[in-house]
Structure 1
Amino acid sequence: MSDPRILVLGAGGIGGYFGGRLAEAGADVTFLVRQGRQKLLEERGLRIESQFGNVELDVKTILASDAEADYDAVILTCKAYDLDDAIKTIAPALAPSGFVLPLLNGVAHIDILNEAFGRNRVLGGSARIQVTVTEDGVVRQLNDWRAITIGEQSGEISNRVETLKAMLDKARGVEVHTVTDIMQRMWEKLVHLATAAAMTCLMRANVGEIVRTPDGEKIFIGLLDTVSDIAAAYGYRPSSEFLETYRRTFSHRDSLYTTSMLRDIERRGRTEVDHIIGFMLQKASGTGLDVQTLLLAYTHIKAYEQRLAAGRLT
């Protein structure tokens, strides 16, 4: 297939970074944004700060009210709690033969998107990147993670997957992988995220700060094993390579690694706790696994939400 016209929902961290890199490489990219973000992009451009090269781009933008069914691919990068609204927003913009590439955390969104658009119009996708948006709108990459993994739910390597890979291969500061087992990869990422988010949010600390406590590493690795066992109960046991990688990651005494969920809490924002940790707790029901640490983390974050809603955070 020829290079698709791409619509990126939002120009925040993930959408701004990968969409911006595609635009920098010459792809036909438009960002569907809110009015405030549109105004900032028109005035200052899309700005990316990264060890792989800074860039300031003039980019095309539209508002939801401007959307027409012109786009061959929609890259969906919303937060999980905005998914229902996101579906309503992108539906009018998607061409009749168009498809959606979601880069959301977790896996729960796949069934929702399949129901909305049809399974054959929804790719599986996963992004491994630490990125944030500064107060003045700069997309800032926080470390050297820059990978995007895509695949068909059916397991085939289709023409559209190969086309996206070729486009992303041209983009600076991006590593792209096409796989035949995307749901396995997405479950593995969910294991990683559920473990990391639960621990960093429960302890309000980064990985290194947790590991340097007397029992932090033991608790961290124990939770990784538990969450891995939950995934295994649904046919997605993480690979030995994955487990080895994250046992090292969650044992690094000098690590500064934190999670977007903790950053959401620290800025007094909403979190994806139900989509990530809550989802894992639901899946653990009936397995007989000891999920006390996961339950404590979930309750801790839900209590934070209660305080946030009541205006009792200072």
Structure 2
Amino acid sequence: MRILIVGAGATGGAFGARLVDAGRDVAFLVRPARAEALRRDGLRLRAPDGDATRPARAITAAELHREPAGFDLVIVTVKAAGLDAAIEDVRPAVGPGTVVLPVLNGMAHLGPLEEAFPGRVLGGLAHIVASLEDDGAVTQLTDLSVVTVPAGHPALAEALDVPGIDLVVSPDITGAMWEKWAFIAAMGVVCCLFRAPIGAVLEAGGEAHVRAVIAETEAVAAAAGHPVSAASHERTVAVLTATGSPVTSSLYRDLVAGRPTEAEPVLGDLAARARGLGVAVPLLDLTLTQVRADALQRATR
């Protein structure tokens, strides 16, 4: 299976490194500067199980037309802000037999991708805590490295079932995506509203608010027809009520660093759906207003 990974940042780089290590035929569609760095330095992954650099085949959008038509699998790992450009860049790689697997946060990306590549797009999701460092290396911060794909695609599952990736084949991929969305939105609200890691929020007496946030995001999922399972709920509660936890959300980390955030696809879209479903989400709304106000202030500086 010929695999094209769109992006070689934290998510694409970490999962792509595992696929390269397993001998999969992998190429990375990246911007020219990232392509030059990958060709010169290789793809370095620092992870709990080791630190290694491997060769990485990098392709830019301008070079994609030279590739044989139609990759078998296109994995989209860019953040929401880069989705529109990624769709245009990747068009030459998508043929009649191509499967497009996005692993973006939220669900707002599915519409544009399906419109661009009708009948080619599957639901999918990833769980990983990783970051792209200034030196171009990818750091995987914990052992968590999960990719979830829908049932009924054995070739896809076989391609992604490699050491270093915990593959989950889900009979209800939409439900799985809602569970992740409810979780990451809850973590984003907690960290962004209180501007602190989970442990600090709890130490300040915020556990009741944390539980209220969880109830809000999970209520939206339930109203949409995809109630969060008891097991997923317990995992969310365990993570967001862990005493002394230094954990923060990627949304919060981007916010405090002044980088573009995924507030709209993660929080904004969820709030809009809540309104449409008649679900009250006051803490989510407060956080979204704060994040939007912050973005407006930064834009005028």
User: TM-score, normalised on structure 1?
Assistant: 0.92
Where does residue 173 of structure 2 map in the other structure? 182
1:166 deviates by 2.0
- What amino acid is aligned across from residue 149 of structure 1 in structure 2? T
Q: In structure 1, what is the equivalent of residue 19 of structure 2?
A: 22
Q: Count residues with an aligned counterpart.
A: 298
CA distance in 2, matches of 1:288, 1:122: 30
Q: Which residue of the partner structure matches residue 114 of structure 1?
A: 114
Aligned counterparts of 1:6 and 1:294: Cα–Cα separation in 2 = 37
Shift of 1:165: 2.1
Query: Which residue of the partner structure matches residue 242 of structure 1?
Result: 232
Matched, 1:295 2:278: no
The residue type equivalent to 1:132 in the other structure is S
SS at match of 1:135: coil
Distance 2:167 2:288 in 1: 32
1-structure distance, mates of 2:181, 2:276: 19
How far apart, in 2, do the equivalents of 1:167 and 1:94 lie?
18
Q: Is the 8 A contact 1:7 1:75 kept in 2?
A: yes
For 2:255 and 2:204, the matched residues in 1 are separated by 22
- Residue 162 in structure 1 maps to residue 154 in structure 2: yes
| Aligned-CA RMSD value | 1.3
Correspondence for 1:64 among 61, 64, 67: 61
Q: What pairs up with 1:172-251 in 2 under 5 angstroms?
A: 172-214=163-205, 216-251=206-241
Task: Give, in whole Å, the separation in 1 of the partners of 2:97 and 2:83.
Answer: 21
C-alpha deviation, 1:95, in angstroms: 2.6
Q: Which residue does 2:273 correspond to in 1? A: 283
Instruction: Report whether the alignment pairs 1:267 with 2:257.
Output: yes
- Report deviation, 1:242: 0.8
For the residue of structure 2 that corresponds to 1:67, the secondary structure is helix
Deviations 1:258-296 (A, max 9, x none): 111111112211111110111111011154433211111
2:252 counterpart of 1:253: no
Alignment of 1:143-158 (within 5 A): 143-151=142-150, 157-158=151-152
* DSSP 3-state at the match of 1:54: strand
Q: 1 CA distance for matches of 2:176 and 2:263?
A: 20
Deviations 1:220-245 (A, max 9, x none): 11111111111111101101111111
Separation in 1, partners of 2:20, 2:110: 26
Question: CA-to-partner distance for each residue in 1:62-101, whole Å, 9 max, x for gaps?
Answer: 1101113341111001111221111111111123311100
Aligned residues of 1:148 and 1:174 also touching (Cα < 8 A): yes
Specify the alignment match of 2:138 in structure 1. 139
Rounded to whole Å, the distance in 1 between the matches of 2:229 and 2:245 is 23
CA distance in 1 between counterparts of 2:121 and 2:160 reads 18
**Structure 2 alignment gaps of length 5 or more:** none
- Conserved in 1, the CA contact under 8 Å of 2:100 and 2:122? yes
Partners of 2:15 and 2:156 in 1: CA distance:
12
* In 2, Cα distance between equivalents of 1:168 and 1:281: 33
- Residue pair 1:73, 1:98 contacting (<8 A) in 2 also: yes
3-state secondary structure, aligned to 1:124 = coil
* 2:6 aligned with 1:9: yes
Match of 1:37?
34
TM-score (norm 2): 0.96
CA distance in 2, matches of 1:291, 1:72: 41
Preserved contact between residue 53 and residue 173 of structure 1 (Cα < 8 Å): no
- C-alpha distance in 1, partners of 2:113/2:278? 31
Distance, in Å, in 1 between the alignment partners of 2:202 and 2:104 is 28
Q: How far apart, CA to CA, are the structure 2 residues paired with 1:298 and 1:223?
A: 13
Alignment gaps of 5+ in structure 1: 152-156
Secondary structure at the aligned position of 1:187 is classed as helix
